[in-house]
Structure 1
């Protein structure tokens, strides 16, 4: 019998490892190191076809229960603490490092770009920005909805995804139209979760085959890329997500503590991995003269995962949680509670 939600941490672990590898590979390619371009583009598109949609999906899994428990306002306030706070703190921290070390990195980051985070989020932090917007939109849409509306909402957001290029007017609408469908898919998935849990072995094989076939047809036969909009991108992301979920449920039969720790620490890794992975690339190429692609990819990915995990342990041991969540006195939830008491 699986422990409750172990498979969710496995899915997060798979997703965050792909995130780190994808960003390390992009950094190596952008640095002009001797990397096969066609191979890089193919692997990059395969990873990006589903790894961030997977995280929106996972975020949607527990959304409706949380909405019913906290209410619309309470949920949004909670996300200010758990999403907006680390978004601001780490956008500024990473941005400051990038400005100071711009002579050693791939890009010339300016302080103005760093301070533009509220209308033009940079680097990996676009995900937190987009996720908060999706939470707000769905908090209003699902507040009066019951479970019979879950699938129609998936279909609605699916249609908006397909036609997002025609409907996008700014960054906010682009983030909402391009990602809410996967969040809504996660909300709906609770309706069929028991079916998956009862048949995860068969479904892993079934969706695994579809994953391989779908990725081959998409990238090789039709020569498409994840950046292409439309129904094929949505279909590929959806079947890839289902494969990852079925695989994670199958892996849930086994308890691998270090892998679970990676999944449970996925937010910390997401916040810090660029600094760690980029640091490895700079040290290897600028100071050691190493241009081995294998060395860069392996060491960059390992350090990109391990360094944030060490930081997570240090944060826990020395009570440095202000790096990830706001101190109680300044948290939005605490301020809301004080205001309610005062009234």
Structure 2
């Protein structure tokens, strides 16, 4: 399938926002900078209501209904390969780092947690786990429901249920919540949700921007001490839709800017960056604390600038060494199709 440049740009910019969110989240949860907690929470909330909903929508942009059971079987194998091996790789790395970090890490590591990743993912790998499940469930449904608009309507009902009547079953709740955004990306492509100029995009951009600003103002006025949940967001989760509409109006316009090629390149490696970013920024933060560095500005400097550099370097190394390439880009080694 031919790559669409603004989609790669969107993935590149969005994964950078994911990275920024986790840098701030790590500093907040470290408990070392409590005087800045409200500032951390504001930044985290602003990023979190945007990046993951947009990522699911970008992932669903190319989704097409499947023809029959045979095509579904090939589809399952491909998605399991592309997402499953990085998922296992991250889980092992996360477990190893937690064990090595001991009391310096926020969550203690237990072997039982690693052995239970078939039902409960570790850390940020939940996105891969849920995305894989979405591909499998919607792929199967698409054999019987060919019309993507009907599929979208089906997921919209599930989304409403997840907001109003959240389920205690982890994967089912996540599927109901995030399948909607996956299909929203596909639906926006179906209706040709595109703008050719800033002037035409402003009819969506400005209302979305002011909606997000109003949400953040109201959220802050409520004195919230937490950010919107990705499990049970309640009616607050409606703001996720605004973020997707904003991104899909904005990204094709930003793709024409001078800095676009950089993020286009990062977008092609967004899955690898997602897998590597959390362990790397955690290690950087722990090392700084062990060295006795408590200045916030140094943590931000090394965490953001240093972290992004190390992640980019690590991705380059993984791409050059076949054994490492297998863990992040298994389809390149086994030859089971192109990267999503």
Q: TM-score interval w.r.t. the shorter chain? A: 0.7 to 0.9
Query: When the two structures are superposed, what TM-score results if normalisation uses the length of structure 2?
Result: 0.86
**Structure 2 match to 1:337:** none
Give the whole-Å Cα distance in 2 for the aligned partners of 1:135 and 1:221: 35
**Counterpart mapping for 1:150-299 below 5 A:** 150-164=148-162, 166-193=165-192, 195-196=193-194, 198-221=195-218, 223=222, 226-227=228-229, 229-234=233-238, 236-254=239-257, 256-287=260-291, 289-299=292-302
Give the whole-Å Cα distance in 2 for the aligned partners of 1:327 and 1:158: 32
**Structure 2 match to 1:340:** none
Q: 1:179 to 1:306 in 2, by over 3 A?
A: same
Deviation, 1:278, is 1.0
Q: 1:232 to 1:29 in 2, by over 3 A?
A: closer
Q: Is contact 1:72-1:140 (8 Å) kept?
A: yes
Deviation, 1:17, is 0.9
Q: Does 1:7 align with 2:6?
A: yes
Give the whole-Å Cα distance in 1 for the aligned partners of 2:109 and 2:176: 28
Deviation, 1:191, is 1.6
Per-residue deviation, residues 98-147 of structure 1 (Å, max 9, x unmatched):
1122233222222222222111101100000000111111001112333x
Q: Is contact 1:83-1:128 (8 Å) kept?
A: yes
Per-residue deviation, residues 72-98 of structure 1 (Å, max 9, x unmatched):
111111001101111012211221121
**Structure 2 match to 1:93:** 93
Q: Is contact 1:81-1:325 (8 Å) kept?
A: no
Q: Which is worse superposed, 113-122 or 31-40?
A: 31-40
Secondary structure at 2:165 match in 1: helix
Q: Is contact 1:268-1:308 (8 Å) kept?
A: no
Give the whole-Å Cα distance in 2 for the aligned partners of 1:91 and 1:218: 35
Q: Is contact 1:203-1:243 (8 Å) kept?
A: no
Q: Is contact 2:87-2:129 (8 Å) kept?
A: yes
Q: Is contact 2:280-2:307 (8 Å) kept?
A: yes
Give the whole-Å Cα distance in 1 for the aligned partners of 2:201 and 2:151: 26
Give the whole-Å Cα distance in 2 for the aligned partners of 1:280 and 1:328: 30
Secondary structure at 2:77 match in 1: helix
**Structure 1 match to 2:303:** 300
Q: Which is worse superposed, 31-40 or 54-63?
A: 31-40
Secondary structure at 1:163 match in 2: helix
**Structure 2 match to 1:341:** none
* Runs of 5+ unmatched residues, structure 2: none
Give the whole-Å Cα distance in 2 for the aligned partners of 1:143 and 1:305: 41
Give the whole-Å Cα distance in 2 for the aligned partners of 1:14 and 1:258: 9
Query: When the two structures are superposed, what TM-score results if normalisation uses the length of structure 1?
Result: 0.85
Q: 1:4 to 1:262 in 2, by over 3 A?
A: closer
CA root-mean-square deviation: 2.7
Secondary structure at 2:271 match in 1: helix
Deviation, 1:317, is 2.4
Per-residue deviation, residues 253-299 of structure 1 (Å, max 9, x unmatched):
24643322211111111001111111211122221x22232332342
Deviation, 1:231, is 4.6
Give the whole-Å Cα distance in 2 for the aligned partners of 1:8 and 1:179: 19
Q: Is contact 2:24-2:43 (8 Å) kept?
A: no
Give the whole-Å Cα distance in 2 for the aligned partners of 1:214 and 1:266: 28
